[in-house]
A and B are shown apart, each in its own frame.
Chain A
Amino acid sequence: MPETTSLGSGGSAYWTVGDDIADTAAPDGPIETRWDRRKFSAKLVNPANRRKHTVIVVGTGLAGGAAGATLAEQGYNVIQFCFQDSPRRAHSIAAQGGINAAKNYRNDGDSVYRLFYDTVKGGDFRARESNVYRLAQISTQIIDQCVAQGVPFAREYSGLLDTRSFGGVQVQRTFYARGQTGQQLLIGAYQALSRQIDAGNVEIHPRTEMLDLIVIDGRARGIVARDLVTGKITPYLADAVVLATGGYGNVFFLSTNAKGSNTTATWRAHRRGAHFANPCYTQIHPTCIPRSGEYQGKLTLMSESLRNDGRIWVPKTKGDTRSPDQIPEAERDYYLERIYPAFGNLVPRDIASRAAKYQCDDGRGVGPGGLGVYLDFADAIKRMGEDKVREKYGNLFEMYDRITGEDPYKVPMRIYPAVHYTMGGLWVDYDLQSSIPGMFVIGEANFSDHGANRLGASALMQGLADGYFVLPPMLGNYIASTKLGSVSLDDPAVTSVVGEVTGRLGRLLEINGDRTPDSFHRELGELIWDECGMGRTEAGLRKALARIPELREEFWRRVKVPGDSGELNQSLEKANRIADFLEFGELLCIDALHRAESCGGHFREESQTPDGEALRDDEHFAYAAAWEYTGGAPVLHREPLQFDYVHLAQRNYS
């Protein structure tokens, strides 16, 4: 049974090394004109011919929603899927803080080049320059597009758009809609998509989950999906497949991701031949509400924008249990302002998270279990008044109050880092095409733009850039330049994938063991958080790599999934996703083990500066790690990264 295959045989034989790979789609020459030249060299599909082509889009978040709407506007037939009951629910909706764009409306020295530079540096020099430059270029168009759609961004009294500042940046380039920017942008994309659904250009399948990819003659030609209400398993065929299925943060069980977010689509595609790149780049967000108990099913993020006005501190004395208002100013350590005076509370996320961990590990944490630091608005309230604070952050304060029962206008918030975003994902070239021709991957599901650490307000930018502006011309190029034969539902490749999917669900139901699916997910998540979370060591990773196969074997022996597959069965959905997390978790740890340097969100404790900052090893690790699935030890393909514009340097935010 493939699910129980061990990926390694102990010792260091967890992986093998294959040939280097290159991003052959990226143009060279001056970076400023690369995207223009790529678009010009791309082949076009005549508008009248587009309706003869069908494209599958999986996922309806910012990337998928934008892509589905845009492809349909251009005339393609789109078949689109989401596991939620409506395309409007995708987890992009929960993004709070904002979206970056190099508009330079503030006249504070911003430019496309600066956004590019900040993003490459913020990503700790592990992203491709070409991709990031394109992202920065497109950023301004995104704001135009969203405003035209009616996205109600925050405005000044002049009627012009307001911006604010985010971590790792010294300009104000973040556009926002109170603390609900993701919601407003997603609703914009959803409305554009709804218009195309109503027009009959998009066939939408809500409550339908992709469970596998169909590859015929080496090209992605369709997916197998399960209707979550009837349980019916159906193959869908197309000329190209676009995955916009988000990240894998829920491998940690506790994360800020929605409960349904999962890696099944990307993992199944990986098993069918798509390389998975840099899975060890996971982002731990510094400002989340601390955990309150064992039963907890998810963690809640408080937007990074709070760090604009909130001040982070801990008591100077270890184990100080006084309530925060009893701790005088002189006995507080505003450690971010002290250690990083230039950026203060707005250092990048990886740095802020690790700093909080150090304080807590050192016994200065606050709240239950000492796993928290204060985020204090007392000064901001004094400076600008409670009303202004309410206008800027009201919904976030309300959310905090609901969850903790504490009023942040009166008591400082307690925050602690939590898994939030995953920079790694399926490997794609400059065209966003994966290593399976005809399968494109967009948004958080791919690995391309954020390197080892994503800057705040850049996820929304990337999702929309991919969906609205990058994917559509590149997908057209693929269709125009490829001779696609017709495929039928009787093709043996189709029936065999359907058979595999059906068999797997059947096996899950047959086990009838004595443990719930969630109990395995929780155990896996705790293991990965402990050994492959904020700090990683070789010994810890080896421990995790020894344990995960055992846990996976136990899962396939002891899991209990009630009901049957021909009905709405949420336990079955969950168990099937957890089965994939149990495989994916191993690749995550292998990637973390192989990358013996620290960079961005990947912190190997063996590799740090005397000050405890991440110490990169550019000589050995300035590459993207693209993993090939074999069923046994995965094969590492290195894509060397070249830095022609941004000088490789140790990040310094002090």
Chain B
Amino acid sequence: MNLTLRIWRQRGPEDRGAMVTYELADVSPDMSFLEMLDVLNERLILEGEDPVAFDHDCREGICGMCGVVINGQAHGPRDRTTTCQLHMREFTDGETIDIEPWRAAAFPVVRDLVVDRSGFDRIIGSGGYISVVTGSAPEAHATPVPKDIADAAFDNATCIGCGACVAACPNGSAMLFTSAKVTHLNLLPQGAPERETRVRDMVATMDDEGFGGCTNTGECTVACPKGIPLTSIGNLNREYLRSLTRR
């Protein structure tokens, strides 16, 4: 396959940045999207140009480090697939592909396709945990958890924190990310003692970090590589309202 790539290049947060066009020939359909960028970067290095900076690590769709906007879609065209798991067979010979970083006020660009998602870590730090000091846990079977509850908690716990939901949202909202963690922990009996403070603190941090509000557009769930459902946001709203009526 021969491709035309238009890639966002930006040296640093203060630089204006621009789309730069590269022609790439002989791309194999069995290549992953990031392997395609590797090939481009090898060429750029030899040509004495700066390679395109992009985040990636596990390349198995689980670490959440990768993520770019491909032809306007966070993580590209394939459903429930991270950028690293996307393969070039999803594209056609002669195609022009636009590659941009996550676009969100709360995710400033670091360089090229690399953005700063540390706001997510601060949301988790403000309440996305169960306060259990190492060694203090009761026997694992002391509290049975009904299978449907455990499964629903698991479905929300699969969030990889990649930020595609924020990138896809017209408001740059982190509601899907926050709701997944609130739902995961608030569903479980182990999470019950901190149920109210957790949701209040996490929502407050989400707002402080500059993420936008939710207007039920639903783009987030389409972009989410792990299929976190929109109902989790409904659950977040419910948990939040409930917490306001309690201590």
Contact = CB atoms under 8 A, between A and B. Distances in A.
B62 to A, nearest CB: 5
Interface size class of A (residues with CB under 8 A): 35 or more
A295 B31 contact: yes
A301 B62 CA distance: 12
A147 B121 contact: no
- Dominant SS at the B interface? loop
Contacts of B38: 295, 297, 518
Contact of A259 (B44, B59, B64): B59
A113 to B, nearest CB: 20
A206 B140 contact: no
Interface residues of B, number: 81
Given A405-B89, A468-B134, A571 B51 contact: yes
Interface in B118-156: 118, 120-122, 124-126, 128-141, 143-147, 150-151, 153-154
B200 interface: no
Interface stretch (B185-193, B208-216, B230-238): B185-193
B6 interface: no
A191 interface: yes
A150 B138 contact: no
A386 to B, nearest CB: 18
Given A143-B140, A516-B46, A66 B188 contact: no
A184 B114 contact: no
B57 interface: yes
Contacts of B51: 562, 570-571
Contact of B85 (A93, A144, A184, A403): A403
A469 B121 contact: no
Nearest to A95: B62
Interface stretch (A125-133, A156-164, A354-362, A375-383): A156-164
A91 interface: yes
A198 B118 CA distance: 13
Given A150-B191, A152-B153, A402 B45 contact: no
A177 B151 CA distance: 9
B87 A402 contact: yes
Contact of A192 (B122, B129, B146, B153): B129
A103 B157 contact: no
Interface in A378-402: 398-399, 402
B58 A94 contact: yes
A152 B135 contact: no
B53 interface: yes
A191 B150 contact: no
Contact of A195 (B57, B131, B147): B131
Contacts of B138: 144, 148
B125 A295 contact: no
A59 to B, nearest CB: 13
B55 interface: yes
A190 interface: yes
A187 B147 contact: no
Contacts of B64: 86, 88-89
Contacts of B136: 148
B133 A73 contact: yes
A183 interface: yes
A60 B202 CA distance: 22
Nearest to B26: A295
B149 to A, nearest CB: 8
A191 B137 contact: no
A399 B225 CA distance: 12
Contact of A518 (B42, B124, B191): B42
B229 interface: no
B34 interface: yes
A165 to B, nearest CB: 19
Contacts of A91: 57-58, 63
B188 A191 contact: no
A258 B59 contact: yes
A610 B204 CA distance: 68
A563 interface: yes
A183 B64 CA distance: 11
B129 A183 contact: no
Given A103-B140, A197-B125, A149 B59 contact: no
Contacts of A73: 133-134
A159 B126 contact: no
Contact of A297 (B34, B63, B126): B34
Contacts of A561: 45
A292 interface: yes
Interface in A115-162: 141, 143-145, 147-161
A148 B60 CA distance: 28
B80 to A, nearest CB: 7
A105 B141 contact: yes
Nearest to B13: A229
Interface in A268-308: 292-293, 295-298, 300-301
B65 A85 contact: yes
Nearest to B140: A147
Given A160-B141, A258-B58, A516-B42, A177 B124 contact: no
A159 B135 contact: no
A293 B31 contact: yes
Contacts of B143: 147
Contacts of A517: 45
A617 interface: no
Contacts of B30: 292-293, 405
Nearest to B82: A402
Contact of B124 (A161, A190, A295): A190
A573 B80 CA distance: 31
Given A86-B120, A194-B121, A147 B157 contact: no
A90 B57 CA distance: 9
A186 B6 CA distance: 36
B178 interface: no
B147 A157 contact: yes
B206 to A, nearest CB: 14
A84 interface: yes
Contacts of B151: 152, 155
A48 B5 CA distance: 59
A206 B126 contact: no
A402 B81 contact: yes
Which of B114, B133, B134, B184 is most buried by chain A, counting CB atoms within 10 A of its CB?
Answer: B134
A44 B136 CA distance: 19
B80 A191 contact: no
A229 B110 contact: yes
A150 B184 contact: yes
Interface in A388-447: 398-399, 402-403, 405
A105 B12 CA distance: 55
A259 B78 contact: no
B128 A194 contact: yes
A490 to B, nearest CB: 32
Given A88-B64, A147-B140, A259-B57, A159 B145 contact: yes
Nearest to A178: B154
Interface in A506-533: 514, 516-519
8 contacts: A89-B63, A93-B58, A147-B143, A177-B157, A194-B125, A206-B121, A298-B59, A516-B46
Those 10 A-B pairs whose CB atoms lie nearest each other, nearest first: A159-B144, A198-B125, A148-B137, A191-B129, A152-B154, A194-B125, A144-B137, A258-B57, A70-B134, A147-B140
Given A91-B57, A259-B56, A259-B57, 20 more contacts: A85-B65, A88-B121, A94-B60, A143-B140, A144-B139, A152-B151, A158-B144, A177-B154, A177-B157, A183-B160, A194-B124, A194-B125, A198-B122, A198-B125, A293-B30, A402-B61, A403-B87, A469-B134, A514-B46, A570-B53
